[in-house]
Structure 1
Amino acid sequence: MAETRKIHKVLKSKPTIEGAGVHLKRAFGHSQVPMFDPFLLLDDFRSDNPMHYSKGFPWHPHRGIETITYVLRGDVEHGDSMGNKGFISSGDVQWMTAGSGIIHQEMPKGDPDGLMFGFQLWANLPKSHKMTEPRYRDVKSNQIPEAVLENGTKIRIICGKVNGKQGPVRDIAIDPEYIDVTVPARSEFTHPTKRGHTVFAYVIEGKGYFCKEKNPFSYEIEGANYFDIQRDPFISNKTLVLFDDGDQMMVSTEDDAVRFLLISGKPIVEPVAWYGPIVMNTEDELRIAFEEYSHGTFIKHKRA
């Protein structure tokens, strides 16, 4: 019999400022390593104030990780040291493998109404892949398949497979799944998960019950006001649920629908040496990376 995962921890995203002054909400990050292994951070950059995002993320390096950007509203202009440039727009995904080193910029533009909605996930690379050749994937919205279940649940499949439909992003070292799920009101959604994989859900609209747990405040909840939790025991917008191990996850709704990002991956279980945009296995590897960046020898694979 399939074992349903239980809630391990609940986290409320916290405000922070990154890049050249971008205001965002961080669902998890450096202080939670290695709890989310193989993932490093998840940022929520939804905003209706261009002053909070327009300065963006000017040219900066990455090594040893993958960055996954998912845009729901607005545009993000990008460019990198491999010669890639352009825009990712509503519904698009940018899956960038930094590998041995890449220098890039990401400049949010918002939509005509000034709205900029999106998320960026960082995934670690195992030691065997940290110095691999960088790879860039620009996935357009119309390339992302959608599955609709009998109860009306809608699933956009960025990475992984649902109901025989395969997401466009494949061949990733950590064997990830990344799906965008909307469960209608008064419904239940159960989804199989691989045993041993780290699995979490980040709610981006509405509210629901996860794992049939109607008292999530009985768990340690980071970044939340105790009295707010007492008034509303649902898991709601800008809240993350990290699950224990098991064969499946479950969510149910009452009067409101719920939309969430469901993400999973195989833990790497290796040392993490992390400073800023570079993540390696040792402090010595970090030192070398920053020395190379300073000396202009950071890029190991140049554009052909």
Structure 2
Amino acid sequence: MERTIAALLPGHRVIDDGDMLLWRALPLEEHNHLGPFIFIDHYRHKSQRGIGDKPHPHAGIEVLSYLLEGGVEHRDSMGMTDRLGPGDAQCIRAGRGIIHAEQPQGGRHGLQLWTTLPPEQKLAEPSYASFRAADIPSLVREGVQLKVMAGRVDNLEGPMRLASPTTLAHIRLAPGATVSLPVDGTAELGLYVMDGQVNSGGAVIDPGKLALLTPGEHVNITATGSGPSDVILLGSAPVEGAILFSGPFVMDTPERLAQAKRDFVSGKMGTLDGVPF
């Protein structure tokens, strides 16, 4: 069965000031999750200015980054440092709490996404992993390039091992190209269009829009714009537990949210460049 469009959600232009363009596709007032995904930011900037370049905390989530252009240096309160380049990805399992900073090396184009941790893993020990572009499975055929960071799509399995079953894939289509991708028929999946324009399930999806898909075993996508189209396929198992936001903390109970705030202020999440003190 082919998946069709159940809902089409327009992302919000959070920043558009000539240097940075930032689309936020989740959370929205009308919808706050897609499978385990609760946050989708798609950004471009020309300068070394960043969003998370100052030390800041996270708890209760996994922070996923996928860099299409540019470079960024990662530092965190566990003492981990790393540098990502074009096509690289990373996963920070914040768990009970971590402080990190991302310093751009220049202009960038990429995605930052959050997945909510299951209730039993909300207080897990933090961990960090990164994945080089050369180690991310990909295939090219008939005007289509597929890269799979997490989950299984069209017999490619991504290297990210996340707390919940999760799908994250990048599809690039030449003008007029079409692809039919076999997927888990029961997973909650969606398409986010970064560039170009595509048709899926009989509906047109423009840049900055998130399409929620109906159940089915195949996702069909056709590039309908005049140039190449870049699409993200993401989602998977239904979210577990409540989703309670308080800035960078996402927990399943008010008590855990309050504890995360106390742990940050008291230094239990560690320190980075004098933060939080």
Q: Does residue 253 of structure 1 match 2:223?
A: yes
Q: Does residue 288 of structure 1 match 2:226?
A: no
Is contact 1:273-1:279 (8 Å) kept? yes
Query: Which residue number in structure 2 is paired with residue 197 of structure 1?
Result: 187
Amino acid of the structure 1 residue aligned with 2:80: N
In 2, Cα distance between the equivalents of 1:163 and 1:54?
34
In 1, Cα distance between the equivalents of 2:30 and 2:101?
26
Cα distance, 1:147 vs. partner?
1.0
Q: Does residue 271 of structure 1 match 2:242?
A: yes
In 2, Cα distance between the equivalents of 1:117 and 1:101?
27
Select between 76-85 and 247-256 the one with higher mean Cα deviation: 247-256
Q: Does residue 47 of structure 1 match 2:45?
A: yes
So what's the TM-score if we normalise by structure 2? 0.88
Change (3 A) 1:191 1:96: same
Is contact 2:197-2:225 (8 Å) kept? no
After superposition, residues 1-304 of structure 1 pair within 5 angstroms as: 3-16=1-14, 24-29=22-27, 31-48=29-46, 50=47, 53-54=49-50, 56-110=52-106, 115-149=107-141, 151-170=142-161, 172-213=162-203, 234-254=204-224, 256=226, 257-298=228-269
Is contact 1:73-1:91 (8 Å) kept? yes
SS at match of 2:175: coil
Amino acid of the structure 2 residue aligned with 1:177: T
SS at match of 1:128: helix
Cα distance, 1:34 vs. partner?
4.2
Higher strand share: 2
Cα distance, 1:176 vs. partner?
0.9
In 2, Cα distance between the equivalents of 1:209 and 1:40?
24
Is contact 1:76-1:109 (8 Å) kept? yes
Q: Across the two proteins, how many residue pairs are aligned to each other?
A: 266
Cα distance, 1:259 vs. partner?
1.8
In 2, Cα distance between the equivalents of 1:165 and 1:4?
20
Residue by residue, what CA displacement relative to the aligned partner does 1:68-115 show, whole Å, maximum 9, x if unpaired? 1111111111100111112111111011111111111112232xxxx3
Is contact 1:33-1:40 (8 Å) kept? no
Change (3 A) 1:160 1:36: closer
Segments of 5+ residues of structure 2 without an aligned counterpart are: 271-277
Superposed CA RMSD: 2.2
Larger Rg: 1
Amino acid of the structure 2 residue aligned with 1:168: P
Select between 120-129 and 237-246 the one with higher mean Cα deviation: 237-246
Cα distance, 1:286 vs. partner?
0.6
Select between 97-106 and 191-200 the one with higher mean Cα deviation: 191-200
Is contact 1:22-1:55 (8 Å) kept? no
So what's the TM-score if we normalise by structure 1? 0.80
In 2, Cα distance between the equivalents of 1:22 and 1:296?
32
Cα distance, 1:65 vs. partner?
0.2
Cα distance, 1:47 vs. partner?
2.2
Segments of 5+ residues of structure 1 without an aligned counterpart are: 214-233, 300-304
Is contact 2:62-2:117 (8 Å) kept? yes
SS at match of 1:46: strand
Change (3 A) 1:243 1:46: same
Amino acid of the structure 2 residue aligned with 1:167: G
In 1, Cα distance between the equivalents of 2:20 and 2:197?
27
Amino acid of the structure 2 residue aligned with 1:286: L
